[in-house]
């Protein structure tokens, strides 16, 4: 259970990320981000490694590996490619532009569904009994984190966030948001191909 607590502590540290971003404290943003990621990553690794094992059929393990690949790809894309990495995670302060394209046209916080998928895949791959207990707790902490972002921080960071909140669902995609996501991804790919052609 101590590893579950370490993971919860990681999310509590992550909550400070928005505070230090708004206060523009030099170096604090990177430090807070690294500590939060390290705590959550360490806790997840140890829970997968040090726990009793579930009895699962082999096909579920293979499904878990496929879901793990998909969830990691989507998480990396949403958090580090779809967002401007430097402005989001490195430079003091907050980004100057609200991203409403790609996975951020699908839902306002795409990291949450991808994280849920990651936890499911890790349960299937590791067969960890303790991860069955940890996953809903950590997912609840992640959802609480984005609720806090949504209600208290992003409206101050981005002037058009209220419009974005009205247009795009928070966590569960709608038919309209799926269409918007696919449309913006196609536009991005077309623009990239056009720029490549001009070189």
Tens-binned pLDDT, residue by residue, of the chain (199 aa): 699 999 999 999 999 988 888 787 777 888 899 999 999 999 999 999 987 899 999 999 999 999 999 999 999 999 999 988 877 777 766 666 899 999 999 999 999 999 999 999 999 999 999 999 999 999 999 999 999 999 998 988 888 899 999 999 999 999 999 999 999 988 866 555 444 444 4
CB-based contact 97:84 (threshold 8 Å): yes
Structural domain for 110, as ranges: 2-192
CB-based contact 129:54 (threshold 8 Å): yes
Whether residue 165 is contained in a domain is answered as yes
CB-based contact 16:34 (threshold 8 Å): no
Q: Which residues, 6+ apart, have CB-to-CB distance to 195 below 8 Å?
A: none
Q: Which pTM does this prediction carry?
A: 0.89
Tokens 């990239």 — which residue?
Answer: 192
Whether residue 197 is contained in a domain is answered as no
Query: What's the total number of domains in the chain?
Result: 1
Whether residue 9 is contained in a domain is answered as yes
CATH of the domain at 174: 1.20.120
């Amino acid at each position: 259970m101590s590893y579950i607590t370490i993971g919860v502590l990681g999310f509590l540290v992550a909550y400070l990320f928005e505070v230090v971003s708004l206060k523009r404290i030099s170096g604090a943003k990177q430090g807070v981000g690294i500590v939060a990621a390290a705590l959550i990553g360490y806790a997840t690794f140890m829970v997968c490694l040090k726990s009793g094992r579930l009895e699962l059929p082999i096909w579920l393990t293979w499904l878990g590996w496929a879901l793990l690949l998909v969830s990691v790809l989507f998480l990396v894309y949403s958090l580090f490619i779809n967002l401007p990495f430097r402005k989001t995670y490195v430079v003091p302060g907050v980004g100057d532009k609200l991203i409403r394209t790609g996975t951020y046209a699908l839902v306002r916080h795409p990291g949450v569904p991808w994280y849920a998928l990651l936890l499911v895949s890790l349960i299937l791959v590791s067969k960890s009994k303790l991860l069955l207990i940890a996953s809903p707790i950590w997912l609840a902490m992640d959802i609480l984190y984005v609720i806090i972002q949504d209600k208290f921080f992003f409206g101050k960071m981005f002037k058009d966030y209220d419009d974005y909140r009205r247009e795009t669902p928070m966590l569960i995609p709608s038919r309209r948001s799926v269409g918007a996501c696919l449309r913006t991804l196609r536009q991005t790919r077309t623009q990239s191909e056009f720029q490549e052609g001009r070189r």
